[in-house]
Amino acid sequence: MVVERELIDLVCQLVQIDSVNPWLVKSGVGEAEVVRTIAAWLEPYGLQIHLDEAEEGRFNMVARLPGSGAGKSLCLYAHTDTVGYDLWRERALHPRVDGDRLFGLGAADDKGHCAAAMLALKSIVEKQVRLGGDLWLALLIDEEGTSSGAFDFVKRYKPDGLVVLEPFGLGSITVTHQGFGWLDIIVKGRAAHGSAPEAGIDSILHMAEVISRLGQLDRLKYAPTAHPLNGKIVFHTGVISGGTDYATYPAECVLGIEIGTQPGESIQDRLSEIQAIFEEVKGLHPNFEGHVQVRLARDPFQARDHEALWDILASQVEVVTGEKVRATGENAWGDAAIFQEAGIPTLMLGAKGDNLHAPDEWVSISELHKLIEIIEATAIRFCS
Same domain membership, residue 370 and residue 240: no
- Which tens digit of pLDDT belongs to each residue from 188-230? 999 999 999 999 999 999 999 999 999 999 999 999 999 999 9
Taking the C-alpha atoms of residue 42 and residue 16, their distance in angstroms, rounded to an integer, is: 18
CATH code of the domain in which 67 resides? 3.40.630.10
Looking at the structure, tell me whether residues 364 and 342 fall in a common domain. yes
Residues 94, 133 within the same domain:
yes
What average pLDDT does range 281-304 have in this prediction?
98
Question: Does residue 3 have a pLDDT over 90?
Answer: no
Q: Which amino acid is at 188?
A: K
**Whether residues 86 and 135 fall in one domain:** yes
The span from the CA of 115 to the CA of 17, in Å, is 13
Is the same domain home to 260 and 171? no
As separate numbers, helices (DSSP H) first and strands (DSSP E) second, the chain gives 9, 17
Helices 112-126 and 4-15 meet at what angle, rounded to 10? Answer: 130
Are 37 and 92 contained in the same domain? yes
* Section 107-120 average pLDDT: 99
Give start and end residues of each alpha helix (H) in 74-230.
Answer: 112-126, 148-156, 203-217
Check pLDDT > 90 for residue 312.
yes
Q: What is the pLDDT of residues 241-276, one digit of tens each?
A: 999 999 999 999 999 999 999 999 999 999 999 999
Cα–Cα distance, 57 to 71 (Å, whole number): 35
Among 256, 271, 298, the domain-final residue is 298
Beta bridge partners of 318: none
How many domains is the chain partitioned into structurally? 2
Examine the pLDDT at 2 and tell me if it is beyond 90. no
> Residue 1 pLDDT > 80, yes or no?
no
Choose among 174, 169, 173, 172: nearest CA to 364: 169
Q: Are residues 152 and 197 in the same domain?
A: no
Give yes or no for residue 66 having a pLDDT over 90: yes
Cα dihedral: 146, 150, 156, 160 (round 10): -150
Residue 260's alpha-carbon distances to 16, 23, 71, 102, in angstroms, are: 33, 21, 38, 31
- Rg of the chain in Å (alpha carbons): 23
Say yes or no: 285 and 247 in one domain: yes
Task: Based on the fold, state whether residues 214 and 78 are members of the same structural domain.
Answer: no
Assess whether 159 and 28 both reside in one domain. yes
- Domain finish residue from 281, 298, 315: 298
pTM over 0.85: yes
Domain holding 209: CATH number?
Answer: 3.30.70.360
The residue out of 253, 272, 298 marking a domain boundary is 298
In terms of domains, do 221 and 247 share one? yes
Instruction: Give me the domain span that covers residue 94.
Output: 4-177+300-383
State the average pLDDT over residues 343-369: 98
> Across the chain, what does the average pLDDT equal?
98
Q: Are residues 89 and 168 in the same domain?
A: yes
User: pLDDT for 9-52, tens place per residue?
Assistant: 999 999 999 999 999 999 999 999 999 999 999 999 999 999 99
pLDDT at 246: 98
Does residue 130 register a pLDDT over 90? Answer: yes
